[in-house]
Amino acid sequence: MAVIMGWWPFRKKRILHSEPHVRSSKMWIQDLREICEKSFDNRETGQLEVESLRVEWHKAFSKKEVDEALLEGLERRAMMLLEAGDSEWSDLLDDEDFWKAGWGSKVDD
């Protein structure tokens, strides 16, 4: 009876280090922009989506995946979007500077 063994049974097992995946500010802003643009013609639906994305930001912040400065920037954008009427909603979606990382930071003021 033959025993079939793997290629090299004495090799050291690899240790895989699992580092948490941390999303960049550009990725969070991109997600926000995408959900807003999907609802460009339906502001109320877009605002509901912004609210659900805010929950994700706060979960990520509590897990230390989002730093405080990023959370503040995302919150500033979200508040403007949530308080916007129909015309302001369209204006914000078209404003390229609004979607840039660092928009509205204290340095810009």
Cα–Cα distances in Å, from 12 out to 15, 16, 86? 9, 12, 62
What is the rounded distance in angstroms from the CA atom of residue 28 to the CA atom of residue 50? 12
What is the C-alpha to C-alpha distance for residues 57 and 27, in angstroms, rounded to an integer?
A: 12
Q: Are 46 and 40 in contact (CB under 8 A)?
A: yes
Tens-binned pLDDT, residue by residue, of the chain (109 aa): 555 555 666 666 665 555 555 678 889 999 999 999 999 999 999 999 999 999 999 999 999 888 899 999 999 999 999 999 999 999 999 999 999 988 876 544 4
Q: What is the pTM of this model?
A: 0.74
